[in-house]
Amino acid sequence: MKFLLFVFAFLYVLSPLAQVPKDIQNYYPKPKISSIEFLIGPSMTGVIGNEKPSFIYGQSYTNPGTSFGVPVLEKRYGNCFGISVSHYVSHHFSVYARLLYEKKGFVRGLDSLSYDGNFELISRTRVFSDEISNTYITLSVLPQYMFGNKIYFNIGAGPYLGLLSSSRSGIKGQPASTIVSDGAYNKYDFGFSMGAGLSYPLKNKLELTFQVTANYGLTQISDFYTSHGYSNWYNSSFSVLAGIRYCQNKTHDLKPIN
């Protein structure tokens, strides 16, 4: 009797009813870290806000040859690199966390505008320039929606938190100098990040990725300047990143199939 029970059990194991479904992996617990990615790329950075108003720089405005001083805020180039991890919640949804070392900043300038007696512009000259380079360690968390087949696309948005690592001011004037300016800027920067990108499978578990990200600060970056009559300044940046992503499973097992 025991032998017959063993035979029936053995035949059941070999029967189609006992075979593991091919898509059983869809029901397996997903790893906490589905992928890891290394990123690097250039950025355009600046601040949202205003400089102080223009002022008479030379003679009285009633006299010929008047010059006006015009403070300006301009963007500058930066760069960033770092690492990111993803957790795939479903075929179309993931949580994307990114840690970047970012060089942000902006340019403070003073232009001299000269007019003749008929108030026609004669010349515009850059009198003073201060190139601020602020380095942040930034953590952003971006829930993402994914779609595609061979090439996979993603869009997402979420908060970021930045920690000021260092600040330098490169003054171009008479004389030129570079100074440490950490004390002029707040230690923390908080804001909103949104981005889009694509990934292309290279082989097995590797992907080539491209991401574009726009960051907008929600907290002003310098109590020092506001205490001296300046308006609030908020960080802004636009980055283009290229990366290599390693997935825990084969990319087609983790990504959405339309």
Q: Which tokens sit at 23? A: 């898509």
CA contacts within 13 A on the Cβ side of 53? 2
Of the pLDDT bands very low, low, confident and very high (cuts 50, 70, 90), residue 14 is very low
Q: What is the CATH number of domain 30-45+80-106+135-254?
A: 2.40.160.20
Number of C-beta neighbours around residue 80 at 10 A: 24
Tens-place pLDDT, residues 39-70:
999 999 999 999 988 888 665 555 555 788 88
20-24, 48-52, 61-65, 133-137: least confidently modelled range? 20-24
Nearest to 73 by CA among 101, 51, 96: 51
| Sign, CA torsion 236/241/244/250 | positive
Please give the Cα distance from 67 to 207 (Å, whole number): 57
Please give the Cα distance from 67 to 162 (Å, whole number): 41
Q: Residues 142-159: what's their mean pLDDT?
A: 92
Q: Residues 93-111: what's their mean pLDDT?
A: 93
Number of C-beta neighbours around residue 134 at 10 A: 27
Tens-place pLDDT, residues 167-207:
999 888 667 788 889 899 999 999 999 999 999 998 888 99
